[in-house]
């Protein structure tokens, strides 16, 4: 026996051995129900996976049911087997290279579990809420588009005042011409006819603008009624799939109504009328009785044409202001599944995603706990030799084994052997308390 083997463990080493033995006892107790807990987590994940898969598959027949069950069972088995391997093998790795390899394997397996299970779990947990949020955001977009289309249409109605002022100015000029205050010749001659024709054009345009007002108000009111029904569908009770179908029908009606409201804007009409106001002038034949009168008529008509150009430019500028108003982005409702909705609005359902991922990856925490515990046990047991860590029970079992071997090897008559000497010394160690310090410190702690 060399000097290292014969030395007595120090107090710190003995305390470390007691801690190692205590950790081993805890691990032994935890191993009794750890597989059951892992199985419960795997089954729970499989159930939510089934709900997520069932929502994605079309049809309601037996084949669809068994397909969803098969997928969920495969997920449950994969989770249970994968984490069972990780919990057993990863803590047993002793070298840094082996541990890094197992951790990389665990990271790869975790990504696979998230890809095949966690997103479906999130769809089962928050799928309906995500679809409802999609409906609510669509209603908001439609409301913005409806209000902007109504704003443009109402703004175009304001052009009626500009058209009315231009019409009134031509009517006043025609009245003055009838009295002879423009060309100097009273009556309804060439100048009067030019002024009257342009006044009539503007009056027709004014009537058209006025006729659009009730139509715009009715369209906006109906659009708000449709939006109200769509909001009710968003928060109504019942399966979200059935509500989505009705929501889609209402969205088609609303989209058509918004397109109609855009067409009710008279700004493009006013712009075209302003272009034609000065361009499409039919000059009548001068009907003055003398060259002097005809010259006065021509001068007056030139002034009228200049006035027409100014009024046309003014109307065109006002119409361009309305046309330049920003239009809301066109909204189109797109039906969406619960899984797609959860992925699209993942940032709004972080708690659901966290729960869906945690139920699959929670065993990773157990793996790290086992790694820490096994590392602590190895560190505490590495300070003394293995024979110094034997407990009384292990010592008695060793004695019984030695005697059994001797009985097999020596069937006739016992004779003193080295084994008997060891057994006798061991029995003396067990019986004499004064020499009990030669047994493992763990046994001494248990005895105390």
pLDDT digits (tens, 9 = 90+) for 224-246: 999 999 999 998 888 888 888 89
- The pLDDT, as a whole number, for residue 112 is 92
Q: How far apart are CA 85 and CA 358, in angstroms?
A: 19
Would you list the DSSP string of 189-201?
A: -HHHHHHHHHHHH
| 399 or 359, greater pLDDT | 359
> Predicted confidence band at 448 (pLDDT cuts at 50, 70, 90)?
very low
pLDDT digits (tens, 9 = 90+) for 137-186: 999 999 999 999 999 888 888 888 888 887 777 777 767 666 655 554 55
Which of 75-84, 255-264, 381-390, 404-413 is least confident?
381-390
Distances (CA, A) of 179 to 112, 214, 370: 94, 39, 110
| Collapsed DSSP state (helix, strand, coil) of residue 181 | coil
What are the two backbone dihedrals, phi and then psi, of residue 345, each rounded to the nearest 5 degrees? -110, 40
Q: How far apart are CA 195 and CA 280, in angstroms?
A: 13
What the block records as the tokens of 146 is: 């409806």
Question: Comparing C-alpha atoms, which of 113, 108, 89 is closest to residue 99?
Answer: 89
Helical axes 363-381 vs 96-113, angle rounded to 10°: 170
Torsion sign over Cα 241, 245, 246, 248 = positive
Report the number of secondary-structure helices (H) and strands (E) in the chain: 17, 0
Residue partners of 99: CB distance under 8 A and separation at least 6 = 90, 93, 371
> Predicted confidence band at 427 (pLDDT cuts at 50, 70, 90)?
low
What the block records as the tokens of 151 is: 């704003």
What the block records as the tokens of 197 is: 């024709």
Q: How far apart are CA 74 and CA 280, in angstroms?
A: 79
pLDDT digits (tens, 9 = 90+) for 49-94: 998 888 777 667 788 888 889 999 999 999 999 999 998 888 888 8
**Contact of 313 with 166, CB cutoff 8 Å:** no
Whether the model clears a pTM of 0.85, i.e. scores above it, the answer is no
Torsion sign over Cα 263, 265, 269, 271 = negative
pLDDT digits (tens, 9 = 90+) for 191-216: 667 667 777 878 888 888 888 889 99
Instruction: Provide the residue count of the chain.
Output: 448
**Contact of 293 with 185, CB cutoff 8 Å:** yes
Q: How far apart are CA 87 and CA 39, in angstroms?
A: 13
**Contact of 45 with 79, CB cutoff 8 Å:** yes
32 burial via Cβ count (<10 Å: 0-12, 13-18, 19+): exposed
């Amino acid at each position: 026996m060399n000097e290292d083997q014969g030395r007595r463990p120090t107090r710190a080493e003995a305390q470390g051995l007691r801690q190692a033995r205590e950790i081993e006892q805890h691990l032994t107790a935890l191993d009794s129900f750890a597989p059951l807990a892992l199985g419960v987590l795997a089954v729970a994940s499989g159930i939510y996976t089934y709900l997520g898969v069932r929502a994605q598959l079309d049809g309601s027949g037996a084949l669809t049911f068994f397909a969803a069950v098969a997928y969920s069972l495969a997920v449950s088995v994969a989770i249970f087997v994968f984490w069972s391997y990780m919990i057993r093998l990863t803590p047993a790795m002793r070298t840094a290279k082996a541990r890094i390899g197992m951790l990389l394997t665990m990271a790869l397996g975790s990504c696979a579990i998230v890809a095949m299970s966690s997103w479906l779990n999130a769809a089962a947990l928050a799928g309906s809420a995500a679809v409802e949020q999609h409906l609510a955001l669509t209603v908001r977009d439609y409301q913005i588009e409806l209000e902007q289309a109504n704003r443009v249409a109402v703004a175009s109605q304001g052009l009626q005042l500009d058209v009315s002022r231009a019409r009134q100015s031509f009517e006043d000029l025609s009245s003055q011409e009838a009295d002879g205050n423009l060309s100097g010749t009273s009556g309804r001659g060439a100048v009067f006819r030019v002024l009257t024709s342009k006044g009539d054009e503007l009056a027709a345009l004014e009537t058209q603008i006025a006729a659009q007002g009730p139509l715009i108000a009715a369209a906006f009111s109906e659009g708000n009624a449709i939006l109200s029904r769509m909001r009710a569908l968003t928060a109504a009770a019942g399966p979200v799939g059935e509500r989505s179908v009705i929501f889609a029908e209402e969205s088609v009606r609303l989209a058509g109504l918004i397109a109609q409201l855009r067409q009710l804007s008279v700004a493009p009409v006013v712009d075209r009328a302003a272009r034609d106001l000065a361009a499409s002038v039919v000059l009548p034949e001068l009907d003055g009785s003398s060259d002097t009168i005809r010259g006065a008529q021509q001068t007056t008509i030139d002034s009228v044409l200049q006035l027409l150009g100014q009024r046309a430019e003014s109307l065109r500028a006002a119409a361009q202001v309305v046309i330049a108003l920003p239009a809301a982005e066109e909204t189109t409702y797109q039906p969406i599944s619960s899984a797609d909705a959860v992925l699209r609005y993942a940032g709004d359902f972080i708690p659901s995603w966290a729960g869906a991922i945690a139920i699959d990856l929670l065993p990773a925490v157990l793996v790290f706990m086992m790694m820490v515990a096994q590392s602590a046990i190895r560190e505490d047991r590495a300070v003394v030799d293995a024979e110094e860590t034997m407990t009384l029970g292990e010592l008695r079992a060793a004695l019984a084994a030695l005697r059994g071997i001797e009985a097999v090897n020596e069937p006739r008559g016992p004779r003193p052997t080295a084994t008997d000497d060891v057994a006798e010394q061991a029995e003396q160690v067990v019986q004499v308390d004064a020499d009990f310090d030669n047994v493992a410190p763990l046994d001494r702690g248990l005895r105390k």
